[in-house]
Amino acid sequence: MAPGAPDQIVLFRLGEENFGVSISLVREVTVLQPITRVPRTPDFIEGVTNLRGRVIPVLDLRRRLGLPADPPGREARIVVVEYQGEIIGMIVDGVSEVLTIDPASVEPPSPYVVSVDTQYITGILKLADRLVILLDLTRVLSAEEAADLGEFNATTASQMLPKA
């Protein structure tokens, strides 16, 4: 986020914590749909799903961020984002709103305030009734993991989609 310029974020939950990501990275939010497990993938990759004819990898954001595992509930959603040119789904416990934020209400991350590794965090948004952890999606996956995910996505899509 540029200092002094308001930005919009998509607000979602993982467990009891509130997170936000820049709306510019979010393509859509969809209900949780069937996910096909793929052998020999990193433990935080839940598998793949067919999103309107396009096979996309889906990662479990809880596992990736080192939060306790919990089976998805009725409010679970897949937040579909564009990450380094790839379309990726992230399972979250629920999506609540889109907020326009004032950068003055964002403080730098503090390892004493959050339970998630601070390398993924751009800041902490102070709202009247809660704190929101702002995630940096460019750091959630390393460059190597993103490249592997891109190759995985291309290979898996060609194997899973019906031949024309």
Q: E strand or H helix at 155, and its extent?
A: helix 143-160
Give the pLDDT score at 152: 56
Q: Looking at residue 142, what is its pLDDT?
A: 58
Q: What is the CA radius of gyration of the chain?
A: 16
Q: Which two tokens stand for residue 124?
A: 């902490």
Low-confidence ranges of the chain (pLDDT < 50): 1-5, 157, 160-164
**Bridge partners (DSSP) listed for residue 135:** 121
Residue 68: per-residue pLDDT: 84
**What is the structure's pLDDT at 71?**
83
pLDDT on residue 43: 84
CA dist., res. 16 & res. 6, Å (int):
26
Placement of tokens 């998630």 in the chain: 116
For 125, phi and psi rounded to 5 degrees? -90, 125
For residue 14, the model assigns a pLDDT of 93
- The DSSP 8-state label assigned to residue 125 in this structure reads E
* pLDDT on residue 137: 77
Note the pLDDT of residue 155: 55
Give all domains of the chain, ordered by start, each with its CATH number: 27-160 (2.40.50.180)
